[in-house]
Chains A and B, each alone.
Chain A
Amino acid sequence: MSTETSDKKIYGILAEVRNPKELIDIARTVNKNGYKKYDTFSPFPIHGIDKAMSLQKSKLGWIVLSHGLIGLTGALAMIYFMMVVDYPLNISGKSLMNIPAWIPVTFELTILLSAFGAVFGMFFLNGLPKLNHPLFTSENFKKATNDGFFICIEAEDPQFEPEKVHHLLSDAGATNIEEIRDDT
Chain B
Amino acid sequence: MSKTYEYVPEPALVKGNHDFSSINSLITDINLRPTPKGWYIAFGLSNLLLFVLLGSIAYLIWEGTGIWGLNQPVGWGWAIINFVWWVGIGHAGTLISAILFLFRQDWRTAINRFAEAMTIFAVMCAGIFPAIHVGRIWVIYWVFPIPNSMVMWPNFNSPLLWDVFAVSTYFTVSLLFWYVGLVPDFATLRDRIKSKVGKMVYGVAALGWRGSNRHWWNYEKAYMILAGLATPLVLSVHTIVSFDFAVSIIPGWHTTIFPPYFVAGAVFSGFAMVLTLMIICRKIYGLEDIMTVDHIEKMNLIILVTGSMVGFAYLMEFFIAWYSQVEYEKAIFIIRATGPYAWAYWIMISCNVISPQFFWSKKLRRNVTFTFIISIVVNIGMWFERFVITVTSLSTDYLPSSWGYFSPTIWDVLTYVGTFGLFFTFFLLFLRFMPMVAVAEIKGAMPQADPHNYDPETGDYSPQEIEIPEPNKESV
Direct contact between the two chains A and B in their complex (CB within 8 A): yes
Q: Which residues of A contact B203 (CB under 8 A)?
A: 131
0/1 interface trace, chain B 149-182, chain A, CB 8 Å (1 if under): 0011111110101100110010011001101100
A105 touches B162 (CB 8 A): yes
Query: In the bound complex, how far is the Cα of B219 from the Cα of A125, in angstroms?
Result: 9
Q: Report chain B residues within 8 Å CB of A129.
A: 204, 207-208
Question: How would residues 45 to 59 of chain A score, 1 for a CB under 8 Å from any chain B CB and 0 otherwise?
Answer: 111111001010010
Interface hub of B19, B180, B212 (most chain A Cβ within 10 A): B212
B215 A43 Cβ-Cβ under 8 A: no
Determine the distance from Cα of A89 to Cα of B151 in the docked complex, in whole angstroms.
13
User: Is B124 located at the chain interface by the 8 A CB criterion?
Assistant: no
* Residues of the B chain whose Cβ atoms lie less than 8 Å from the Cβ of A115: 172-173, 176-177, 226, 229-230
Query: Of A46, A112, A130, A132, which contacts B169 at CB under 8 A?
Result: A112
Give Cα distance in the complex from A173 to B458, angstroms: 11
- CA A133 – CA B215 in complex, angstroms? 14
CA distance A116 to B229 in the complex (A): 11
| A65 nearest CB across to chain B (Å) | 10
Asked if A10 lies at the interface with its beta carbon under 8 angstroms from chain B, I say no
B121 in the interface, Cβ–Cβ < 8 Å?
A: no
Binds A, one of B134-142, B382-390, B448-456: B448-456
Contact yes or no, B187 A145, CB < 8 A? yes
In the complex, the chain A residue whose C-beta lies closest to that of B176 is A119
Chain A residue nearest in CB terms to B236 = A107
| Chain A 117-133 interface residues, beta-carbon cutoff 8 Å to B | 118-119, 121-123, 125-126, 128-133
Q: Are A49 and B225 in contact (CB under 8 A)?
A: no
Q: Which residues of A contact B225 (CB under 8 A)?
A: 60-61, 64, 114, 118
Q: A44-B443, A46-B449 are in contact. Are A118 and B211 (CB under 8 A)?
A: no
The count of residues in chain B whose C-beta lies closer than 8 Å to any C-beta of chain A is 71
Residue of A nearest to B454 (CB): A21
Contact at B204–A131, with CB atoms within 8 Å? yes
A128 touches B209 (CB 8 A): yes
Instruction: Decide if the interface of chain B is mainly helix, strand, loop or mixed.
Output: helix
Contacts of A32 on B, CB cut-off 8 Å?
A: none
Interface positions of B from 113 to 138, Cβ below 8 Å from A: none
Q: A86-B151, A131-B204 are in contact. Are A19 and B459 (CB under 8 A)?
A: yes
Which residues of chain A come closer than 8 Å to B230, judged between CB atoms? 115
Say if the beta carbon of B145 comes within 8 Å of chain A.
yes
Near B by CB (< 8 A), chain A positions 66-96 give 78-79, 82-83, 86-87, 89, 91-92, 94
Task: Chain B residues near A15: list those with CB within 8 A.
Answer: none
Q: Which residues of B (433-464) have their CB < 8 Å from a CB of A?
A: 439-441, 443-444, 448-452, 454, 456, 459, 461
Q: What total count of A-B pairs have CB within 8 Å?
A: 217
Closest to A24 in B: B451
The residue from A89, A111, A135, A136 contacting B173, defined by CB atoms under 8 A apart? A111
B245 CB, nearest partner CB in chain A, Å: 14
Contacts of B215 in A (CB 8 A): 126, 128
Query: Is A183 interfacial (CB-CB < 8 Å)?
Result: no
Which stretch, A1-9, A34-42, A160-168, touches the partner chain B? A34-42
Are B217 and A43 closer than 8 Å at their CB atoms? Answer: no
- Which of A19, A39, A44, A89 contacts B461 (CB under 8 A)? A19
Contact of A133 among B21, B180, B210 (CB under 8 A): B210
Residue B328 interfacial (CB < 8 Å): no
Is B24 at the interface (CB under 8 A from chain A)?
A: yes
Given A40-B213, A42-B211; A108-B155 close (CB under 8 Å): no
Closest 6 CB pairs of A and B: A122-B222, A129-B207, A147-B20, A44-B444, A21-B454, A82-B153
Other CB < 8 Å A-B pairs besides A43-B184, A58-B221, 20 of them? A18-B459, A21-B451, A21-B452, A27-B213, A44-B440, A45-B216, A45-B217, A45-B220, A61-B221, A78-B145, A83-B157, A91-B157, A104-B162, A107-B232, A111-B169, A130-B207, A131-B204, A142-B192, A146-B20, A146-B21
| A residues whose Cβ falls under 8 Å from a Cβ of B | 18-22, 24-25, 27, 39-50, 53, 55, 58, 60-61, 64, 78-79, 82-83, 86-87, 89, 91-92, 94, 98, 101-102, 104-105, 107-109, 111-112, 114-116, 118-119, 121-123, 125-126, 128-133, 135-136, 141-147, 150, 173
6 examples of A-B residue contacts, CB within 8 angstroms: A44-B216, A46-B449, A48-B451, A50-B217, A104-B236, A147-B443
